[in-house]
Amino acid sequence: MTAIAPIAPAAEAAVDVSDVADLPVSKPYTAPPSQIWGWGVGRIAEFALIATFGQAMTIFTIGFGLNPAIVGTCTALPRLVDGVIDPIIGHWSDNTHTRWGRRKPFMIGGAFVGAFFLSILWWASPTWSPTTQFIYLGVIGLLTYLCYGAYAMAWNAVGYELSDDYHERSRISAIGGFFLAAAALGNSWIYWLALRPVFGGVVWGMRWIGLGVSLLIIVSAVATTMTTRERFTKSNRAHVKLWPAIRTAIRNRPFVILLLMKVTEIFGGRLVGGMSIYLGVYYTCRGDQDLASKIAGVSAVLGTVWNFAVLPFVKPASQWIGKRGALILGAALAFVSSLVTPFITLPEHPWWGLIPGLVITPLLVISGTVALAILPDICDVDELETGQRREGLFTSVQGFVAKLEISLAVALTGYLMVAASIDTTIGRRWDQLIDGKADAVPGFVAGEMGVYQFADAKPATFDRLTIDGGIEEVELSVSDESPTQGFRTVGMFRDGSQSMHHAFTFAPATGKYVRVKLIAGPGASKQITLDELELTSTQGIPPTGAAPIGLLSAGSKQVAAQPPQRVVNRLFWIVMVPGIVFSGLTLLTTIMFPLTEEKMLEVRRRLDEIRLANAAAGVPTDEVADEIVHQHPEVAAELRHQHPKRLDQDRP
């Protein structure tokens, strides 16, 4: 494995280009602002392709009612297959030579075809069998991921070529982060938007949203392709086979440590993040999906605001603490946040979950953005050692590892949800009890709670509860505050008979929301089957035998449904413990990272010499070096005099 030590001067004293008066290369190359911002726009397509597909776990479980373990497995398989193919695509791109460049064909192809598959993903039907939905999701997901892998590899590789400056790369990364934050803001509201009544349901909502996102992906990719320029279109003329190239990459010590850091960071983050969706809905927000989606949206807004606010400070921070310091700072803050989170994740205060974002997000944004600028440094080290420009290979190998761990995290998330006994059909079951149909609804368990909002969100008065089904004891509560807060108990009612029809009367109760909690089923039964649930008022009914009006079936709607408390408590610890463990491991690996600013300055000096010498010898590799030699013939003559042989083989 290659260790990066201070680099000795070149074997035959290469010309010190920094001593040449007025030579542009005396200052590290950085692309014009129009190219940098044009490249940043492409981050929208890169994020939208993967993040919108990431909504499948929520939509296909809660919206379609599929088992989380099945959906988790199905969404993990495409990542695994794509991850295996990624290094092949990256190596192919590194060695591609077309008049459009090495990367742009992959960017355009990946964006256009990926947008198409993403748009049709949501047209699966909830009426299909689980097997059909599984196959559809798996096949379309695989094709979408292959396109994402090609686009993301090419887009990142173009970004690595935009600057040779150690700190300027951090600023370029921040510009990409600017567009990432904007895209993440929109993505965080997708589920909430899909729930709007105008779409007629979450499934139709995602279909229309998917079409809009696909169009945005195409526009973003085209804008980037038209505004950016590739520097190393003529490099890698001597072809290196795939497996030797991969072997060389994984012997690069800084790259291996970066991969280890990403393994603990991404696997832990995805595992905890995937389960946190359910924790937010069923624990923090007590089954209120609308509230959970609002909190997620506000959190994304805060993150976006902070991202925009700290953007000007990213480069100064890089100059102050360096990229290695940024890695350590970010990992330390994430570890502290994981230790604090269990104490502020409270159902009584669901909005407290925003506190970490308000306090430490600015520093996390800076450190995370600076850390993203590390891979270009690793590519420079590799070029100095091998003479090859392999941004595509390094990006795709890192992508392979990331997709492998994400796939495992997504699959494990589904199985952990099953282990926690989270039933994502709970909301649909409680909704079916007031739909006016006489169908039996199985699957209820003791301890579950369903919350209903009366028609037009106005208070209603009732004094009678009727339940058809196998229930023995229930608790009734009302609230005027919200679907999750301010409930006061109306009473606990028990019927030990074997009857399937239960009627309970009590003093009149009034509220905007009513909560029904199942205390116990018949005998030792764990599963409870119910047919119908209704609340009525007998006040003012004339003695003519007229039936009272049902309040739940007359325009009320189900607004929250929470699993038993023992289930959500188990979910709480399933989320919190991995968060602490993996953030701690990430901190340990960042401390091991070896590259410093001093080492990278020496790497850049050597690369400048070699690139200019190659250009002067008529061996084009870097378009910037070619232009310098063309514009300064005296430099070319001096280089040819000092280096009659090209320096392409001069490697430490």
pLDDT at 434 over 70: yes
361-380 average pLDDT score? 77
| In the chain, % of residues over pLDDT 90 | 14
CA dihedral 225, 231, 233, 234 (to 10 degrees): 170
Nearest residue to 161 via CA among 375, 400, 396: 375
The reported pLDDT for the residue numbered 649 is 42
Q: Is the pLDDT of residue 519 over 70?
A: yes
Q: Is the pLDDT of residue 265 over 90?
A: no
What's the pLDDT tens digit per position in 310-366? Answer: 777 777 877 888 888 888 888 888 888 889 889 988 999 999 888 876 766 676 677
Nearest to 42 by CA among 152, 150, 148: 152
Which tens digits make up the pLDDT trace of 9-19? Answer: 333 333 344 44
Complete DSSP assignment for 514-564: EEEEEEE-STT-S-EEEEEEEEE--TT--TTTPPPPBSSTTT-EEEEEE--
Q: Report whether pLDDT(70) > 80.
A: no
pLDDT of residue 642: 59
Average the pLDDT over 61-85 and give the result.
Answer: 74
pLDDT at 24: 45
Q: Which of 548, 485, 532 is nearest to 511 (CA)?
A: 485
**Chain segment 191-213, per-residue pLDDT in tens:** 888 888 888 877 788 889 999 99
H or E stretch at 285: none
State the Cα–Cα distance between residues 175 and 182, nearest whole angstrom.
11
582: exposed, middle or buried (C-beta count within 10 Å: 0-12, 13-18, 19+)? buried
Confidence (pLDDT) at 108: 93
Looking at residue 471, its pLDDT comes to 84
| pLDDT (tens digit per residue) in 524-534 | 556 788 888 88
Whole-number mean pLDDT of the chain?
A: 80
For residue 40, the model assigns a pLDDT of 93
- CA dist 233 and 392 (Å) reads 13
pLDDT at 194: 84
Reply yes or no on whether the pLDDT at 594 is more than 90.
no
Confidence at residue 475, expressed as pLDDT on a 0 to 100 scale: 92
What's the pLDDT at 267?
79
Position 464 pLDDT exceeds 50: yes
Report the pLDDT averaged over residues 496-514: 87
Give the distance between the most distant pair of CA atoms in the chain.
115
pLDDT score of 38 more than 80: yes
pLDDT digits (tens, 9 = 90+) for 468-498: 888 888 999 999 999 988 999 999 998 877 7
Q: What is the pLDDT of residue 16?
A: 40
Give CA–CA dist 217/21, Å, rounded.
45
User: How large is the average pLDDT for residues 635-649?
Assistant: 54
- Token pair for 160: 């690595």
- Judged by DSSP in three states, 504 sits in strand
What is the per-residue pLDDT for 478? 93
Full set of structural domains in the chain with CATH: 37-422+567-595 (1.20.1250.20), 426-562 (2.60.120.260), 599-642 (no CATH)
Q: Is the pLDDT of residue 547 over 60?
A: no
pLDDT value for 262: 82
Q: Provide the pLDDT confidence category of residue 134 given band limits of 50, 70 and 90.
A: confident
Q: What is the band of 523 on the pLDDT scale with cuts at 50, 70, 90? A: low
64-78, 192-206, 277-291, 597-611: range with lowest mean pLDDT: 64-78
The 10s digit of each residue's pLDDT in 550-584 is 778 778 888 899 989 888 899 899 889 988 998 89
Would the pLDDT of 116 be above 90? yes
- Per residue in 417-426, pLDDT (tens digit) is 788 888 888 8
Quick one: pLDDT at residue 643? 53
> How many other C-beta atoms can be found within 10 angstroms of the C-beta atom of residue 557?
13
Which three-class secondary structure string do you get for 568-625?
HHHHHHHHHHHHHHHHHHHHHHHHCCCCCHHHHHHHHHHHHHHHHHHHHCCCCCCHHH
